[in-house]
Amino acid sequence: MINVIKLNKISDKVLDILKDNYKVEENIANPEAALVRSFSMHEWEVPASLLCVARAGAGVNNIPFDAYREKGIVVFNTPGANANAVKELVIASMLLAARNLVGAIKWANALTGDDVAKQVEKGKGQFVGTEIMGKTLGVLGLGAIGRKVALTALALGMKVIGFDPFLSDAAKAELKDVTIYSDMKDVIKESDFISLHMPYTKENKELINASLISEMKDGVIIINAARGELVNVSDIKAAINSGKVRSYVVDFPDANCINSDGIIAIPHLGASTEEAEDNCAIMAAEEIKEFIETGNIYNSVNFPTVKAEKRSAHRATVFANASFNSPQIVAKADSKGIVYAILESDTAFDKSALEAMDGVIRARVIY
Ligand code: MLT
């Protein structure tokens, strides 16, 4: 039996994939796999039994995946599985901000008396908004979500520009009507709306700060459905007060964002749709199943893709340092000095013998 611990609430769709030989529970001892959404694993005591973690979502800043690599624990995410849900929230965010809908709805709900209809007509002038058609959207980060946002914004009549230093040729081809700049500042300077879609790393902490904001257009609307840490909220507030920034829509609000004029705080709902939760759960469960049953790795954030078709009766895998070698290797990749190798043989593997081999950190007999 393979034990899978659920560190967050995850759609029951995982049970369609992880059935028969799997036990999936919130409190389970000696888990071989963990399913996680936003639970912070940085403080979590890692069980010695843990082989892999699947994040039902894209962002992995809640997982110490570099440290896990050293221990021979593979971390997966589910790229693209919730991209449509996040995209829809970003489009809604642009409209909420451009039409001042949050303030307007709050105002309307506070009206009293029998003449509400009259008051509505009299007071609505204070909420005149702007349209998004014809405006320029700058997309920072053109991964699965950023690309969907860009293409939908084009369909809504916006001009779309973007920046992503890691853009593949295939992604570029998909974005043929989007102007891609090689300098992020060019996007910053030209955009009426800026939408953030990069992962949060220690290098881009508070990327959006007073200095960058000073280069933006007056009245810019900033949408952050990526991670709160990408933005210096105090600088945003100062820029809202000065009129430089018209609105900041954030799906990762902290105490500084709540009830603050010009800030629309959404409680991390980007991926919170039934469809996205099911999609992420299914993809995460498939990644775990494939890794447990074949040793194959794909969609990992701390190892490259390593896959091999079954050619022999027996298979084992090892994590090892760079010196590891064996004539039984059928697939192998290196990630930051840690080698992951799939070995095959016509005779059965012995786990202890594998572990005793030069440079081996961890070994597993698959079948
Ligand atoms: C993501 O990184 O994909 C989202 O934060 C997922 C989630 O809401 O759990």
271 lines ligand 1 (CB under 6 A): yes
User: Amino acid identity, residue 163?
Assistant: F
Residue 272 Cα: closest atom of ligand 1: 8
Instruction: Say yes or no: 75 and 109 in one domain.
Output: no
CA distances from 219 to 2, 21, 206, 242, 247 (A): 54, 57, 20, 10, 8
Q: What single DSSP character describes residue 62? A: T
How many Cβ atoms from other residues are within 10 Å of residue 26's Cβ?
11
| Backbone phi, psi, residue 14, to 5° | -60, -30
Of all protein residues, whose CA lies closest to atom 4 belonging to ligand 1? 57
The gap between the terminal CA atoms of the chain, to the nearest Å, is: 14
Residue 208, token pair as written in the block: 């959006």
| Backbone phi, psi, residue 167, to 5° | -70, 125
Instruction: Say yes or no: 7 and 64 in one domain.
Output: yes
DSSP-assigned beta bridge partners for residue 340 = 319, 333
Per the rule left: phi > 0, alpha: psi between -120 and 50, beta: everything else, 113 is: left
Q: How many domains, in total, are found in the chain?
A: 3
Q: Which residues form the domain of 96? A: 83-265
Choose the residue to mutate in 9, 35, 38 for probing ligand 1, maximizing ligand atoms within 8 Å of C-beta. 38
DSSP-assigned beta bridge partners for residue 315 = 344
Instruction: Say yes or no: 140 and 230 in one domain.
Output: yes
CA of 154 to the centre of ligand 1 (A): 25
Residue 353, token pair as written in the block: 């013998």
Instruction: Say yes or no: 148 and 194 in one domain.
Output: yes
pLDDT at 133: 98
CA of 135 to the centre of ligand 1 (A): 28
Instruction: Say yes or no: 241 and 143 in one domain.
Output: yes
Instruction: Say yes or no: 99 and 233 in one domain.
Output: yes
Q: Which of 286, 269, 266, 288 has its CA nearest to residue 277?
A: 269
Are 314 and 345 in contact by the 8 Å Cβ rule? The answer is yes
Instruction: Say yes or no: 88 and 76 in one domain.
Output: no
CATH number where 63 lies: 3.40.50.720
**Secondary structure class of 315 (helix, strand, coil):** strand
**Secondary structure class of 54 (helix, strand, coil):** strand
37 lines ligand 1 (CB under 6 A): yes
57 lines ligand 1 (CB under 6 A): yes
Residue 331, token pair as written in the block: 């697939």
Instruction: Say yes or no: 118 and 256 in one domain.
Output: yes
Report the alpha-carbon distance of residue 6 to residue 34 in Å, rounded.
6
Instruction: Say yes or no: 122 and 249 in one domain.
Output: yes
Instruction: Say yes or no: 310 and 281 in one domain.
Output: no
**pTM score:** 0.93
- Tens of pLDDT, residue by residue, the chain (367 residues): 999 999 999 999 999 999 999 999 999 999 999 999 999 999 999 999 999 999 999 999 999 999 999 999 999 999 999 999 999 999 999 999 999 999 999 999 999 999 999 999 999 999 999 999 999 999 999 999 999 999 999 999 999 999 999 999 999 999 999 999 999 999 999 999 999 999 999 899 999 999 999 999 999 999 999 999 999 999 999 999 999 999 999 999 999 999 999 999 999 999 999 999 999 999 999 999 999 999 999 999 999 999 999 999 999 999 999 889 999 999 999 999 999 999 999 999 999 999 999 999 999 999 9
Instruction: Say yes or no: 105 and 40 in one domain.
Output: no
Q: What single DSSP character describes residue 233? A: H
pLDDT at 282: 98
Instruction: Say yes or no: 324 and 365 in one domain.
Output: yes
